[in-house]
Amino acid sequence: MADDSSSRKRKVRGKKIRTDREQKKGRRAKKELRRKAAAADEQNGDTPLSSPEDVAPEPFVETDEIDSIRGRIQGWLEAEQPVHLIGPTGCGKTSLALSAAAERGRPVVWLNGDEAVDTAALVGDHAGGERYEERDQFVSGVDKRTQIVRERWVDNPLSVAVQEGATLVYNEFSRSDPVAHNVLLSVFEEGVLERPGKRGEDRTIDVHPEFRAVLTSNDVEYAGVHQQQDALLDRVVGVHIDYYDAETECEIVAAHVELPSDQIELVVETTQQLRDELDIVVGTRAAITTAKGLSVFNGNETIDDDLLADVFTDVLAPKVAGGRDESNVAELSDRIADTV
């Protein structure tokens, strides 16, 4: 009898050890599943956050005029005011915005506006469901499987910026539908961001005290530009950016193109004359592109007037081509030739 009893005890003990091991494995498996599910909830894909060093424009020309404008932008940001940079295309708004953002030393979030931007593109949305399986092996010989599906929320640039205290650089702000910008009202006024579509206690986000915003827009008369709601514009300060003086434009062109200084001065002088005489936008970007063309077509030789006129025509022709009047480009070419 004793031997039988001892044998039974050993058998029971062996079964108990196997059961304990299986239970531990089951608990570890469930813990790992919960960890992976939580990580999936927090995952945002490629983060929109960039370091200040990565977004600082290069090259960036520092002149008294540029430093003065950037100082105004930084001053308003220090005063906790969103800044709206407004001006013609090609005048350097984006570079100024990125430079001012980088100077803060905080992470930067970049957002480019267009017709496709809606509220979800700003704050976030559900990105499908995460499906995983829980396997219950608490009882030896019993295998219970449970399919669990949870929705995965992905934060978009605005949500990330307000949580991390980043500087939001919203380029081409006025090209987005004003309806999408209603969420900015509470961000700028009350310091709270509401995420429509998000359920639970974290539907709203308290804005980080270091969050700032720099918006850039073309003037309202440009094609594709929306008039934004007055309630929002009342909550930002507007800094108008115009084309720079000749000295500054020469410095900018020289930073991008290797040409003799006298040729750069000629390109900038012609650019500013065309800017006054033509009915199209002739920005600093056009001067840079023209100088690049001359560096290829002319080398370091003396610039011929005909070549200068031809290069400027190539650079500016896309602004008038494609219309119903086929004489537009020819007329542009004649006016440029007359100016040169």
Per the CB < 8 A criterion, the answer to whether 193 and 159 are in contact is yes
Residue 11 has pLDDT above 70, yes or no: no
Residue 216 has pLDDT above 70, yes or no: yes
- Give me the phi and psi of 215, to 5 degrees please: -105, 145
Instruction: Look up the domain containing 319 and give its range.
Output: 246-339
Residues 2 and 146 in one domain: yes
Digit-coded pLDDT (tens) for 184-205: 999 999 999 988 877 777 788 8
Q: What are the strands, taking DSSP E only, across 156-206? A: 167-171, 192-194, 204-206
Per-residue pLDDT, 157 = 92
Residues 219 and 267 in one domain: no
144-155 and 124-136: which strand pairing? Answer: antiparallel
CA angle 95, 96, 97 (to 5 degrees): 90
Average pLDDT, the chain: 80
Residue 228 has pLDDT above 90, yes or no: no
Lowest mean pLDDT among 29-33, 320-324, 328-332: 29-33
Per the CB < 8 A criterion, the answer to whether 313 and 333 are in contact is yes
Strongest mean pLDDT among 41-50, 265-274, 292-301: 265-274
Residues 141 and 15 in one domain: yes
Residues 99 and 219 in one domain: yes
Residues 160 and 301 in one domain: no
Q: Last residue of a domain, which of 225, 242, 259?
A: 242
Cα–Cα distance measured from residue 204 to residue 30, given in angstroms and rounded to the nearest whole number: 30
Q: Last residue of a domain, which of 242, 257, 292?
A: 242
Digit-coded pLDDT (tens) for 293-303: 999 887 657 78
Per-residue pLDDT, 191 = 93
Q: Last residue of a domain, which of 242, 266, 283?
A: 242
